[in-house]
Amino acid sequence: MSAQTIDSQGNALTYATIERDAGLRAALDMTRPDIIDAVSQSGLKGRGGAGFPTGMKWNFCAAEKGDLKYIICNADEGEPGTFKDRVILSRFADLVLEGMTIGGRAIGATLGIVYLRAEYTYLRPHLNEVIKERRKRGVLGTSIMGVEGFDFDIIVAMGAGAYVCGEETALIESLEGFRGEPRNRPPFPAVAGLLNNPTVVNNVETLASVAAIFAKGVDWFKAFGTDKSTGYKLFSVSGDCEKPGVYEFPWGITVAALLEEVGGEGAKAVQIGGASGVCVPAREFARRLAFEDIPTGGSVMVIGPQRDMLDVAENFLEFFVEESCGQCTPCRLGNPQMLKAVKLLKEGACPPKFLADVKALGQTMMVASKCGLGQTSPSAFLSILEHFGDEIHDRAPSA
Amino acid sequence: MSHPTTPIHRAPLSQQHRRVIPTTSPDAIGAQVTVTINGVEAKVPFGATILEAARSVGVQIPTLCDHPDLNVAGVCRMCVVEVEGQRLLQPACTFPVVNQMKVNTHTRKVRQARRHVLQLLLSEHFGECTSCVRNGNCELQSLAEEYGINDFAFGHPEEPLVAEDHSSYSVMRDMNKCIRCRRCVRTCIDIQEVGVLEAIGRSDRVSIETYEDRPLGSVVCINCGQCVNRCPVGALYAKDETDAVWAAIDDPEKHVVIQTAPAPRSAMGELFGLEPGTPVTFEMNTALRRAGFDHVFDTNFSADLTIMEEGTELILRLYKALVLGHKDVALPQFTSCSPGWVKFLEHFYPEYLPNASSAKSPQQMFGALIKTYYAEKLGLDPGNIVSVALMPCSAKKFECNRPEMHDSGYQDVDYGLTTRELGKMFKEAGLHVPSLPKSDFDDPFGTATGSGVIFGATGGVMESALRTVIELVTGEKVESIYDHGDIVPVRGFDGVRYAEITVPKVGPVPEILAHLVPDWEWLNGATLKVAVAHGTANAKKVMDDIKAGGKFSECHFIEFMACPGGCLGGGGQPIPTNAAIRAARAKAIYAEDHAYSVRKSYENPAVARTYAEFLTDGPGGHKAHKLLHTEYTARGRHIPQE
């Protein structure tokens, strides 16, 4: 199984040292506001890429009135070059489900849903097995761990293969049985999410971190990372390096240090954050992976010196032209224009006016698209244009 | 703990509103918030959109996917504005005002974004503007002019890429012009709950398609044309039959007559720049004659006839059920004059077809009489008569092509023209309708009643029927029961209305009905339960309630209209449409009703003459049945393979 191949590469993961159920036990000794407060104190930010403070998200949802609330685990890991959630779900599913249970307790949800990407269907039996076992152990179901009135269960729901369903509102649409397309925000899911009820959507890794924070303590967690980016992070490293795999590093590691660990020295650029991320050129390898410098959901693609940067841009844009939900104009029709420009550049035949128009269009897409997909899809191409202008513009027109 | 199952609603639950309410906290609702738009302060209710706030201080923000009748979408991104302190531009049509934010509506960033949106849309819009049905009334065209489009930076299709779909009798589709705003999708599901159209595919491959992309003529489309009225461009349009009508007019052998329905007369003026709600009924008569029609008739005549036939049918159903104790009488009786509603019933509730009145719609009753009674009277060969109907409706085109609508021995009505088509003919003939002298309708059907006129508004058929039934049963003037004879409980624009009408006393059975019932005693003190629904989403609510045995199943008579507002909001009416325009048209229609001296169908002398001279066995009689009644087709939702 491919997950095991990946699993065997990388470094030792802290999650392997977290005692099962310890976090939940600790959380159930606390009041609900104190649970949320602890998450806020830990500084935990969303591990899916957007980096929204988890405690704040929980707080919004907890403040909403309503008997029905939901906590959803976003396991629609679709960002190109990201495979760390797959490892977490394979090896530490208990921690993820435990994090959901703690979140459910905090916001007052009675149901948790794992939204699992279609390509991870092979993980479903495993997750269901872990859920069943947790019910048997009394850490899911009614009166969890003997706490009267704390009823919470988890189910697994399947995605159907659309990248955009990783966007939380598209995910909810998909869960409701509709075409997976992002909603207008506000209202945010914390106010009106699944079936119009207050809903928290957290990434797989975020939820596993929650379990770890409660098992080991806020201070333990905050000892990792930087002031603004606390804790540690899993990185999915792929591309032109000797040891691709899933790595755990504290936030704040420099690109150069990471490349050294994975055998990627000599790279001419690193694409961080997947197709929707940014392309960092070698001269900026002293920059840090942290919310305050280069924020990321964990995808690190090493680009070796032999690569044509336009091939890289073309590859990403082909992906977005495939995966845009096609709802809003800038993303639906903007990405094909970006791709067209790349193809023309590759032929050395892009008229300067068209290139200028497309660059300006990229700026519009980043501010006027409806969701994160269109808001980020031009960034790789734009940063490649910015950093590798010589390589791009010096090529001769093809015959 | 049980969790609700997913309801089948197309729009996200959180966004099934014109406004996105940003909180579930009730304390904020109703509070006033001050927002600054381009430096000007606007006070708006908490949760109002930026668009509403801007309009309240006279700031125009361009929109495209937004439509006041539809749920919010926020997909075209034409209305984006800059909110101070936010990196992202926000769509004014959906973004709620919740605090004292500062908004700028035409910064460089905003202007650039709008141009990009338009240039992108133009890159896939096959813009043959000068030969397009929407030339001069196209939102994309107007926006391109207003927002500085002077080139096609991202290309522009010179040739159509896909074939147009002309399979429907009513609604034509040209996806080469579609800009994916999805107003049609939302119209079909939000307003009509039919759901024929849906976005299929992703990215630039998104297209608006029917089930398995089958031709519109082969799916469950009810031909209402509401999508046409809300399409901002020329991607959806009603079938154009003006050339065929011109050809008939040009042919000296042909005797071309036209009947005009009340709703178009309340809206035709809009095509000539008049305010909505300015009736041009009598100016239009002159225009029609000058355009070359041989005779001009008033559909109100056959609307009155419909009331006679449908009212008689109702009385008979009630008599059979209540007095004779027949168990198989289908009640409530449903109106059947809206062809969109009829097809909706045939597709979605075929088991209730026996409830639909067998009386034809006014258009088809008139059609059957023109090629029989009228032809006889004038000594014309019915084969040489071309019968045209001016309707506010695209479904009327389908209706006149129904195979059963040949009771005269010919196709009873040859062409159903929409208000828009006739307006186009007038313009081509140089007829500026508002400045023409007035003239009356032609005999022998000339005189109409107000009852016929109000057919154009939701509740109008019900009110007309009640006026006639009350007078026939009580022997009293309806004015003695309702002020001015206005039966207000069935009026208005609420989607579903329910009313109980008590029969205070009974009189002798009038001669015209004497062959049907011996007396009215069985109705003495009875309460007639009636309901009105317009827009098929509302019809669906009523039908589902009937199926569940709810209060509407207890009704005796229910009026259904496929279109919001009734015929005045029909799919053949001038574009644009919205609640204010529909209300203005309704006002014109009720004003016309008040102007008539005869306001009850049974008092219409032309109707009385028709029964005396031609339909001699009276309402519900054999001859009336042959010409004025019809049957329906249980279609169901199954769409057979082509």
Contact A196 B13 (CB under 8 A): yes
Contact A367 B14 (CB under 8 A): no
> What's the average model confidence in pLDDT over B588-616?
87
User: Does the annotation mark B471 as catalytic?
Assistant: no
Question: Is the pLDDT reported for residue B12 higher than 80?
Answer: no
Substitution target in A332, A375, A376 with the highest count of B β-carbons within 10 Å is A332
Higher pLDDT: B121 or B5? It is B121
Q: Residues near A41 by Cβ (< 8 Å), separated by ≥ 6?
A: A55, A218, A222
> What's the average model confidence in pLDDT over B35-63?
95
Q: Among B4, B10, B153, select the one facing A357 at the smallest CB separation.
A: B153
All CATH 3.30.70.20 domain ranges in chain B, comma separated: 120-238
> What's the average model confidence in pLDDT over B393-403?
97
> What's the average model confidence in pLDDT over B341-369?
97
> Cβ atoms within 10 A of the Cβ of B161, count?
9
The reported pTM is: 0.94
Question: Is the pLDDT reported for residue B640 higher than 80?
Answer: no
Mean pLDDT is lowest, of B105-109, B372-376, B592-596, for: B592-596
The Cα A130–Cα A95 span in angstroms is 10
Question: CB of B638 within 8 Å of any CB in chain A?
Answer: no
Substitution target in B5, B13, B14 with the highest count of A β-carbons within 10 Å is B14
Task: Please report the pLDDT score of residue A3 as a whole number.
Answer: 42
Task: Please report the pLDDT score of residue B597 as a whole number.
Answer: 75
Contact A367 B89 (CB under 8 A): yes
Q: What is the pLDDT of residues A346-368, one digit of tens each?
A: 999 999 999 999 999 999 999 99
Substitution target in B61, B75, B101, B107 with the highest count of A β-carbons within 10 Å is B75
Collapsed DSSP state (helix, strand, coil) of residue B80: strand
Task: Please report the pLDDT score of residue A399 as a whole number.
Answer: 45
- Type of residue found at A281: P
Inter-chain CB pairs, A–B, below 8 Å: 152
Domains identified in chain A and CATH numbers? 2-222 (3.40.50.11540), 232-303 (3.10.20.600), 309-389 (1.20.1440.230)
The Cα A291–Cα A313 span in angstroms is 24
The answer to whether residues B126 and B100 touch, using CB atoms and an 8 Å cutoff, is no
Task: Please report the pLDDT score of residue A1 as a whole number.
Answer: 35
Q: Which of residues 370-399 of A touch B (CB under 8 A)?
A: 370, 375
Task: Please report the pLDDT score of residue B20 as a whole number.
Answer: 58
The answer to whether residues B389 and B400 touch, using CB atoms and an 8 Å cutoff, is yes
Among residues B170, B338, B357, B408, the one annotated as catalytic is B357
Q: Tokens for B583, please give them.
A: 């209300």
Total number of residues shown for chain A: 399
Q: What is the pLDDT of residues B230-249, one digit of tens each?
A: 999 999 999 999 999 999 99
User: Does the annotation mark B357 as catalytic?
Assistant: yes
Contact B113 A364 (CB under 8 A): yes
Question: CB of A184 within 8 Å of any CB in chain B?
Answer: yes
- If pLDDT is split at 50, 70 and 90, which confidence band does B603 have? confident
- If pLDDT is split at 50, 70 and 90, which confidence band does B24 have? low
* Nearest-by-CA chain B residue for A110: B1
- Owner of token pair 């008229």: A351
Q: What are phi and psi of B196, to 5 degrees?
A: -75, -30
Question: Is the pLDDT reported for residue B6 higher than 50?
Answer: no
Q: Which of residues 316-345 of A touch B (CB under 8 A)?
A: 320-330, 332-337
Task: Please report the pLDDT score of residue B515 as a whole number.
Answer: 85
Q: What is the pLDDT of residues A61-82, one digit of tens each?
A: 999 988 899 999 999 999 999 9
**Predicted ipTM of the assembly:** 0.95
User: With 0-12 CB in 10 A as exposed, 13-18 as middle and 19+ as buried, what is B138?
Assistant: buried
Q: What are phi and psi of B145, to 5 degrees?
A: -70, -45
User: With 0-12 CB in 10 A as exposed, 13-18 as middle and 19+ as buried, what is B31?
Assistant: exposed
The Cα B318–Cα B322 span in angstroms is 6
- Owner of token pair 């141009």: B115
Q: Which residues of B are less than 8 Å from A167 in CB distance? A: none
User: Does the annotation mark B337 as catalytic?
Assistant: yes
User: Does the annotation mark B541 as catalytic?
Assistant: no
Question: Is the pLDDT reported for residue B432 higher than 80?
Answer: yes
Q: What are phi and psi of B512, to 5 degrees?
A: -60, -25
The Cα B419–Cα B238 span in angstroms is 11
Task: Please report the pLDDT score of residue B26 as a whole number.
Answer: 56
All CATH 3.40.50.1780 domain ranges in chain B, comma separated: 247-301+363-435
User: Does the annotation mark B399 as catalytic?
Assistant: yes
The Cα B139–Cα B155 span in angstroms is 20
Task: Please report the pLDDT score of residue A391 as a whole number.
Answer: 87
The second-level CATH assignment, the architecture, of B31-106 is Roll (3.10)
| Shortest alpha-carbon distance between residue A341 and chain B (Å) | 10
- Type of residue found at B232: P
User: Does the annotation mark B253 as catalytic?
Assistant: no
> What's the average model confidence in pLDDT over A211-216?
98
Among residues B76, B79, B224, B567, the one annotated as catalytic is B567
Q: Among B3, B77, B199, select the one facing A329 at the smallest CB separation.
A: B77
Shortest CA distance to A10 belongs to which of A189, A235, A266?
A235
The Cα B507–Cα B640 span in angstroms is 53
Question: CB of A359 within 8 Å of any CB in chain B?
Answer: no
Question: What percent of chain B clears pLDDT 90, i.e. is strictly above it?
Answer: 83
Q: Tokens for B460, please give them.
A: 């109008």
Task: Please report the pLDDT score of residue B257 as a whole number.
Answer: 98
DSSP A10: B
Task: Please report the pLDDT score of residue A20 as a whole number.
Answer: 94
Contact B24 A111 (CB under 8 A): no
User: Does the annotation mark B310 as catalytic?
Assistant: yes
CA B63 to chain CA centroid, nearest Å: 24
Question: Is the pLDDT reported for residue B13 higher than 70?
Answer: no
The Cα B213–Cα B210 span in angstroms is 5
Question: Residues B268, B272, B277, B278: is their CA dihedral positive or negative?
Answer: negative
**Mean pLDDT, chain B, integer:** 92
DSSP B173: E
Task: Please report the pLDDT score of residue B604 as a whole number.
Answer: 87
Task: Please report the pLDDT score of residue A395 as a whole number.
Answer: 74
* Nearest-by-CA chain A residue for B81: A368
Higher pLDDT: A10 or A48? It is A48
Q: Which residues of B are less than 8 Å from A327 in CB distance? A: 75, 199, 206
CATH 3.40.50.450 fits B120-238, yes or no: no
Q: Could you tell me which CATH number the domain at B247-301+363-435 has?
A: 3.40.50.1780
Alpha-helix residue ranges (DSSP H) falling in B123-212: 139-146, 183-186
> What's the average model confidence in pLDDT over B560-588?
96
CA B133 to chain CA centroid, nearest Å: 20
> What's the average model confidence in pLDDT over B265-289?
96
Q: Residues near A82 by Cβ (< 8 Å), separated by ≥ 6?
A: A236, A274, A297, A298, A299
Q: What is the pLDDT of residues B487-496, one digit of tens each?
A: 888 999 999 9
The Cα A111–Cα A109 span in angstroms is 6
All CATH 3.10.20.740 domain ranges in chain B, comma separated: 31-106
Task: Please report the pLDDT score of residue B575 as a whole number.
Answer: 98
Among residues B52, B270, B309, B310, the one annotated as catalytic is B310
Q: What is the pLDDT of residues B113-140, one digit of tens each?
A: 999 999 999 999 998 999 999 999 999 9
User: Does the annotation mark B313 as catalytic?
Assistant: yes
CA A81 to chain CA centroid, nearest Å: 11
Total number of residues shown for chain B: 642
Q: What is the pLDDT of residues B494-520, one digit of tens each?
A: 999 999 999 999 999 998 888 889 999
- If pLDDT is split at 50, 70 and 90, which confidence band does B3 have? low
Radius of gyration of chain A (CA): 21
